[in-house]
Amino acid sequence: MLTAGDTAPDFTLPDAEGNDVTLASLLESGPIVLYFYPADFTPGCTAQACMVRDLHSDLTGAGLRVAGVSPQKPASHKRFAEKFRLPFTLLCDTDKGVAKRYGAVWPLGIAFRRVTYLVDRDRRIIDTVTADLNIARHKAFVRKAIERQQKVQVEAAS
């Protein structure tokens, strides 16, 4: 598992449209909330995605981008994003290679864990939370990331 201060591994993964996306490209416009989730359309993952959707304007207002990563293929991500009106990037890690590098798989690599990272523009991990069944902890983490980034913006403007 990666921790605060670690360097986030770069990656290239397809998005819901099948376009390759790199961590570097996601970070071009600022820090990112990068979250790993087990599967599209499951109750917990749907609740998490909708929570991020509902906070999306606060996230972007604070200068944060969001990307969700799970092992499904682009067609599944596209249906998931359309059904729940998700305004952020969903990435396909079908071989779980990126999730393994981020410590977001269960032992033996069987399934994804629910892990969320805040990564700065220099690929440094600022904070992380792992809560496989507790969506509220991820919501608190996202709100904390928004507050933290808002403070950074105020300090930069001073």
| Catalytic residue from among 8, 21, 45, 86 | 45
- Measured on CA atoms in the order 22, 39, 103, 96, is the torsion positive or negative? negative
Cβ-defined contacts of 104-108 (< 8 Å, 24+) = 104/36, 104/69
Is 45 a catalytic site residue?
yes
- Measured on CA atoms in the order 112, 33, 97, 103, is the torsion positive or negative? negative
- The residues carrying an active-site annotation are 45
